[in-house]
Amino acid sequence: MRHWIEKQRYIIDFTISSLLRRKVKNFGLLALYTLIVFILASTMFFTYSIKKEASLILKDAPEIVVQKIVAGRHDLLPVSYLDTIKNIRGVAAVESRLWGYYYDSLVGANYTLLVPPANGNSADNAQSPAKTTVVEGEPGIDKSKPLFELNGAVLEPGTLIIGNGIARLRDIGKGDYMPFLTFDGNVVNFRIAGTLSSQSELVSADLMLITGEDFRKLFGIDNSYVTDLTVVVNNPSEIATVASKIKKRLPQARPIIRDEILRTYDSIFNWRGGMMIVIFSAAVLAFVIFAWDKASGLSAGERREIGILKAVGWETSDVIQMKFWEGAMISLTAFFTGVILAYVHVFFTGSLVFEPALKGWSSLYPNFELTPFVNLEQLTTLFFLTVVPYTVATIVPIWRAATIDPDSAMRFTGD
């Protein structure tokens, strides 16, 4: 056993010196390898941490959201539904929600207008059963901190509180006025009472808070209608039952369970992440072919070296071991460098390289910093997508190199 360990040490020493002796060739390979790991790792880190953010935010979404569907489309919901649902056993609370979209043709952006729930200001939200505004769960985050902080602003009739994305896009801030076109063609001016905190940009960049009255005036919605309802069900195993009861009593209602939203988002993110991996697989394939070529193309000098090794007493399996260590060292270096660079790229520079692709056509793009989230699953997947193909591609070339005849060293007679 000791011999085996000592032997590995010798071989590793030799491998390191051998790698350093051919810096140019190995550096090119290493750079490309690191790049591949970097791209894949960035993609994965980004997808996974957004997924995690989304699931954290959604975790405290209401258990059930009820919408009215007419001819397959989302319609305004009559307030009478509230009572019907309140009477269902298991329902702890029902709240109505008023929200909608407003298209601003000046900048080509869609704003989300939301009427904050009754006790919509900062500190009280912990008591509110309506869970649209509280973030919980992550250790270190203040339990009573609302989803979007109003920064001390107070929403009065005739005012708006806007998200940072809108503030940036329209270049407006507290005290400015913003004109809106109502449903019947009139112009209404709203004063900006404040902006939402930048911490919550991921969800609030395009958000505007407005009072209920103003909302109804703007969009022409009667008092007897709301956009949708949120239902609080305390016992998690009751949720499905309550949802089906809602459906039975209100045939036009569509109850959406929070877990379904989570699953759907999960699927979407998975799908997106997977698509990117598939697309990048072309790059990985190219890299693998390159690696195979590099491993097969032994220069005359390398051939001589292996010939000498075999002539002085190294066996084929010893040479294979040496080549294996070579591959392992290059792989490990590329893997760690790529992962670290990707980590910095995604979590410190906000995915600088991907930004144009991610932004797409959106005019309102949030400036957000993702919470670093890297787990073993991601690293293992990366390992399987990069190191394994590389290693497998080099098996045959390594074997070919290792089976060079020992007496080739003897036959080399001159310069």
Partner 1 sequence: MILHPTVIANLLAVYISSGMVLYAVYYGAQILKYWDIQSGHELQLVLERKTYLISTLLAYVFGLQLLSLFLFIFTADSLTPLFVGAMCAAGTLNVDAFGYPTLVLKIFSFILAGLWLVLNYADNQGYDYPLIKKKYLLLAFVAPFIILETILESAYFLNMEADVITSCCGSLFSSERVTGIGSEIASMPALPMMWIFYGAMICTLASGIFFYLKNTGGYLYAALSLLMFIISLVSIVSFISLYIYELPTHHCPFCIIMEEYDYLGYLLYILLFGAVVSGIGVAALSPFRQVESLQFMLSGFIRKLALASVILYAAFAAIVTYEIVTSSLVIAYEVVY
Partner 2 sequence: MIELVKVKKVFNAGNPSEFSALNSVNLFIEENQVTVLKGPSGSGKTTLLSIVGCMSRPSAGRVKLQGREITSLPERFLTDIRRKTFGFIFQQPNLIKGITVLDNVMLPAYPLGEKRSHLRDKAMRGLAELNIGNKAASKVEWLSGGEAQRASIVRALINDPRIIIADEPTAHLDTKLSYRFMEIIEKFKAEGKTVIITSHDPLVYESSMVDRVVNLRDGQIEGEPA
Q: What residues make contact with partner 1 under the rule CB under 8 A?
A: 44, 47, 55, 69, 72, 240-241, 243-244, 247, 254-257, 259-264, 266-267, 270-271, 273-275, 277-278, 281, 316-317, 320, 375-377, 380-381, 384-385, 388-389, 391-392, 395-396, 398-399, 402-403
For the stretch 32-52, what's the b/e string if a residue is b when 16 or more beta carbons lie within 10 angstroms of its beta carbon? bbbbbbbbbbbbbbbbbbbbb
Sign of CA pseudo-dihedral 87, 89, 93, 96:
negative
Q: Please report how close the Cβ of residue 33 comes to partner 2 at its closest, in angstroms.
A: 23
Does residue number 102 form part of the binding site for partner 2 (CB under 8 A)?
no
Q: In whole angstroms, give the CA distance from residue 50 to residue 163.
A: 20
Q: Please report how close the Cβ of residue 20 comes to partner 2 at its closest, in angstroms.
A: 8
Residue 254 binding target from partner 2, partner 1, none, CB below 5 to 8 Å by type: partner 1
Phi-psi group of 220: left, alpha or beta (phi > 0 → left; psi -120 to 50 → alpha; rest → beta): left
Residues binding partner 2: what is the number (CB under 8 A)?
A: 35
Q: Which residue has the tokens 């009751």?
A: 238
Residue 360 binding target from partner 2, partner 1, none, CB below 5 to 8 Å by type: none
Q: Please report how close the Cβ of residue 152 comes to partner 1 at its closest, in angstroms.
A: 38
Q: Please report how close the Cβ of residue 305 comes to partner 2 at its closest, in angstroms.
A: 6
* Cross-strand partners of 4: none
Nearer to partner 2, 261 or 308 (CB): 308
Nearer to partner 1, 154 or 388 (CB): 388
Q: Which residues contact 155 (CB under 8 A, 6 or more apart)?
A: 116, 120, 161, 193, 209, 210, 211
Closest CA to 56 of 146, 149, 136: 136
Residues in 259-318 that interact with partner 2 by CB under 8 A: 301, 304-305, 308-318
Structure-block tokens of residue 112 = 């989300």
Q: In whole angstroms, give the CA distance from residue 408 to residue 305.
A: 10
Amino acid found at 277: I
Q: In whole angstroms, give the CA distance from residue 63 to residue 343.
A: 34
Residue 376 binding target from partner 1, partner 2, none, CB below 5 to 8 Å by type: partner 1
Nearer to partner 2, 59 or 304 (CB): 304
Which residues contribute to the site for partner 2 (CB under 8 A)? 2-7, 9-11, 14, 17, 21, 301, 304-305, 308-318, 405-407, 409-414
